[in-house]
């Protein structure tokens, strides 16, 4: 369905673009989060986890957005990964207090996870209505 593919492509692009920014200049996202990159290993960690991992996840989601048989698994990946980010960030906010960066991030993450859950339900209904669930297994 188009709604699901839009969510996948948009989320994938957001992750890839943010990952590229982190790869290019790790001090920028670290600064947003209030982290100091005091050692080269800290900078490398941001480049790898915030840059490389997000670029890879983003590229995967964009690629899967155009493969109908991969849409449901990709939505599950978003639900668990981005939902996990929202859960972890919410826990941090409750434990440590709020700030603008993390409030914005948790808003994006929670909204994305909720939209993925809605898209999964719509995909399930579509498969039931069209009888395609059995043929995709």
Q: Could you tell me if 44 and 53 are in contact, meaning their C-beta atoms sit under 8 angstroms apart?
A: no
Query: C-alpha distances in angstroms, 86 versus 43, 71, 110, 112, 114?
Result: 24, 22, 5, 9, 11
* Rounded Cα–Cα distance for residues 124 and 17 (Å): 30
pLDDT tens digits along 65-120 = 999 999 999 999 999 999 999 999 999 999 999 999 999 999 999 999 999 999 99
The pTM of this model reads: 0.86
- pLDDT grade, residue 1 (50/70/90)? confident
Q: Considering only CA atoms, which of 75, 30, 80, 74 is closest in space to residue 50?
A: 30
């Amino acid at each position: 369905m188009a709604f699901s593919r839009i969510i996948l492509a948009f989320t994938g692009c957001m992750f890839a673009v943010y990952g590229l920014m982190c790869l290019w200049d790790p001090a920028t996202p670290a600064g947003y989060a209030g982290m100091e990159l005091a050692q080269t290993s800290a900078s490398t960690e941001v480049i790898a986890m915030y840059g490389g991992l997000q670029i890879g996840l983003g590229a995967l989601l964009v690629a899967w957005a155009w493969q109908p048989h991969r849409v449901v698994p990709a939505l599950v990946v978003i639900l668990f990964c981005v939902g996990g980010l929202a859960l972890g960030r919410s826990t941090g906010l409750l434990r440590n207090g709020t700030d603008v960066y993390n409030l914005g991030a948790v808003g994006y993450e929670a909204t994305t996870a909720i939209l993925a859950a809605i898209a999964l339900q719509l995909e399930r209904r579509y498969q039931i209505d069209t009888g395609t669930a059995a043929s995709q297994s």
